């Protein structure tokens, strides 16, 4: 059993593990994170799931995720990255050799968020902070040039009002892709794809 450091305590999670990576101004309390947590519990797999509460600072958020998964066998780690979480997940997959399901992933978040500098508040925790140029610099530092297509499943909605789904389709060309007609950035249809996420995770289990 591999010892992994989680945000609030050190535990000994059974492997493999499914890690939900939430997006910008989101939380472990988000809709999709909750759906996946409940579904894993119904399957008797609650101990294989975690969703860390990430810092708004990209460098710190990545440090939290690295601390969580670095001690684990990467072949047993699958990340589920939503929006900005998809960008983080991509950096982790290419660094550690893990796998990822990407849900409406942000491809170049440093470009999008550069237009929102200033006061911010987390939608779930009410944490207030300032989005600064340093956040943008830290995001740029996490970009990877190339991806390993066999390690990803892209699930994206054409109706995403925040991100252009075509950027994700292009970025993850060659990966397994599910393009959903309509929908929105929050991807309320996520419940329809929970078993798909689990199947992808289990297909890579060691």
How confident is the model over 159-180, as pLDDT tens digits?
999 999 999 999 999 999 999 9
How confident is the model over 8-50, as pLDDT tens digits?
333 435 567 999 999 999 999 999 999 999 999 999 999 999 9
Domains and CATH numbers, the chain: 14-203 (3.40.50.1820)
Question: In 3-state terms, what secondary structure has residue 179?
Answer: strand
How confident is the model over 95-150, as pLDDT tens digits?
999 999 999 999 999 999 999 999 999 989 999 999 999 999 999 999 999 999 99
Residue position matching structure tokens 């550690």: 96
Question: In 3-state terms, what secondary structure has residue 157?
Answer: strand
pLDDT attached to residue 9: 33
Distance, in Å, from the CA atom of 70 to the CA atom of 199, rounded to the nearest integer, reads 23
């Amino acid at each position: 059993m591999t010892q992994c450091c989680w945000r609030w305590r050190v535990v000994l999670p059974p492997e493999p593990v499914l890690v939900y990576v939430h997006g910008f101004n989101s939380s472990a309390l988000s809709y999709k994170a909750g759906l996946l947590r409940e579904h894993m519990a119904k399957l008797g797999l609650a101990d294989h799931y975690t969703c860390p509460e990430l810092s708004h600072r990209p460098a710190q958020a990545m440090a939290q995720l690295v601390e969580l998964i670095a001690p684990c066998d990467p072949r047993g780690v699958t990340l589920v990255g939503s929006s900005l979480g998809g960008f983080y997940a991509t950096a982790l997959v290419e660094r550690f050799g893990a796998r990822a399901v990407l849900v409406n992933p942000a491809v170049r978040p440093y470009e999008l968020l550069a237009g929102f500098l200033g006061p911010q508040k987390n939608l779930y925790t009410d944490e207030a902070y300032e989005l600064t140029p340093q956040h943008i610099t830290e995001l740029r530092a996490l970009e990877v040039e190339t991806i390993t297509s066999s390690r990803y499943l892209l699930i994206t909605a054409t109706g995403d009002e925040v991100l252009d789904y075509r950027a994700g389709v292009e970025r993850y060309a060659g990966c397994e892709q599910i393009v959903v007609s309509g929908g929105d950035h929050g991807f309320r249809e996520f419940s329809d794809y929970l078993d798909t996420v689990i199947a992808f995770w289990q297909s890579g289990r060691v």
